[in-house]
Amino acid sequence: MNLFAFTANSLWVASSLPAWAGFRRALNHPDRAQFHLLRGYLSANADSAYGQAHGFAKIRTYKEFASRVPLSNYEDLEPWIARILRGENRVLTSEPVIRLVPTSGSTGARKLVPFTAGLQREFDRAIGAWIADLYNRHPSTAFGPTYWSISPAVQSQADESSSVPVGFEDDSSYLGGAKKRLVDTLMAVPSELRHIGEIGVFRYVTLLCLLRQRDLRLISIWHPSFILLLLDALPSCWDHLLEDIRTGRCRHSLPQNILAALRLRPMPRRAISYGCRLPIDSPRKTTSPAVSGNAPEIRLNVVLFPAPFGPISPSISHDRMSNERSLTATSPPNCLRARLTSSSAPLKGARSRPGSLGASGTGTGLR
């Protein structure tokens, strides 16, 4: 919840309640309300050039109005608007024209709509009734900023021949007065973006502002083709937008006043929530802290000793797997030798053999 936005929206709704109440009363008798407005227009503009040409002062009923004032398109009104451009007063309205509001020109040539103080008051009443009803039906809408696009972004075409200013600095100027300053604090996209000359850069920065908003609650687009063109530009620059959100930068070069209005800052968590993958740095091949001064330097020294102390590679030869005992050994293993002893001379006629037992002697021989 954005507490600041909630406070500003609450003040806006409170100031719009009278317009909302008047609209609700008019719903009970719409024909009476519409005729009351018609008589007000005819009376207020009877002395204008257009009113005099069509006899506004003599019209008393709607049928008289329909018979005296023909249906008209912009081409029918263009000669009258040309007189306003030259600085002539009281042409289409008795009130002075304070602005000429341009259309986008997406379906034809650019059109200029005369804007008066009376028209501004009617915008205020109409928007006020809608805002009060909207926030009453959807209270959560008041808890965050909004994005409005009333007059589409068009290239500024300065006309030195025009005596009346063309266009608004921002869309909140439609309301005027204290409400304009109040609504300016709620806008998700700063009005300074209207000074971006290239339409592609304007769309990119607009998308960047909208994606950075955590609590964006309302988008009001008054020109249907604008939002379609804005969304069409999103896929081609998606990766760049996520990177700019993560780093708090803008890939396009912008004037300093626009950068200050954007208030860019790194938002890595916001970028991750959109699917951005953070870059993974490779391990650094450095020693930290760096070796310097009298710090000991430790190295892994490899010392090879000669055989048999050093590493010996085993070698096995299968053709030499034999018993290499000497064949000339005089005494086999585990051989016990003992001397022959005799206590008397051998018997007559008898031969003694080594290891044999004599008749009168004892002997032990083991072989």
In a domain, 285, yes or no: no
> Is 226 part of a structural domain of the chain?
yes
Q: Give the chain's domain count.
A: 1
Is the Cα dihedral 147, 151, 157, 160 positive or negative? negative
Lookup: tokens for 308:
């048999």
**DSSP one-letter code for 233:** T
pLDDT tens for 272-304 read 999 988 776 555 555 555 555 554 455 555 555
Q: What pLDDT shows up at residue 81? A: 94
Does residue 311 surpass a pLDDT of 90? Answer: no
Q: What is the pLDDT confidence band of residue 104, given thresholds at 50, 70 and 90?
A: low
Q: Is residue 134 part of a domain?
A: yes
Q: DSSP assignment of 26-87, as one string?
A: HTTSHHHHHHHHHHHHHHHTTTSHHHHHTTGGG--SHHHHHHHS----HHHHHHHHHHHHTT
Q: For 105-138, what is each residue's pLDDT tens digit?
A: 555 677 888 999 999 899 889 999 999 999 999 9
Residue 169 has pLDDT above 90, yes or no: no
**Structural domain containing residue 123:** 3-273
Is residue 365, in this structure, part of any structural domain at all? Answer: no
The secondary structure element, H or E, covering residue 36 is: helix 30-44
Question: What share of the chain in percent tops pLDDT 90?
Answer: 44
Q: Is residue 296 part of a domain?
A: no
CA angle 194, 206, 230 (to 5 degrees): 105
pLDDT at residue 224, rounded to an integer: 77
Asked, for residue 14, whether it belongs to a domain, the answer is: yes
Identity of the amino acid at 350? A
pLDDT for residue 289: 55
Q: What is the pLDDT of residues 42-93, one digit of tens each?
A: 999 999 999 999 999 999 999 999 999 999 999 999 999 999 999 999 999 9
Residue (of 17, 22, 221) closest to 136 by Cα position: 17
Cβ contacts of 131 within 8 Å, gap of 6 or more: 12, 13, 16
In a domain, 344, yes or no: no
Do 179 and 15 form a contact (C-beta atoms < 8 A)? yes
Structure tokens given for 211:
């994606």
Q: Three-class SS of residue 219? A: strand
* All residues at 6 or more sequence positions from 120 whose CB lies less than 8 Å from its CB, including other chains: 174, 175, 176
pLDDT band of 14, cuts 50, 70, 90: very high
What is the C-alpha separation between 21 and 86, in angstroms, rounded? Answer: 41
Q: 331 lies in a domain?
A: no
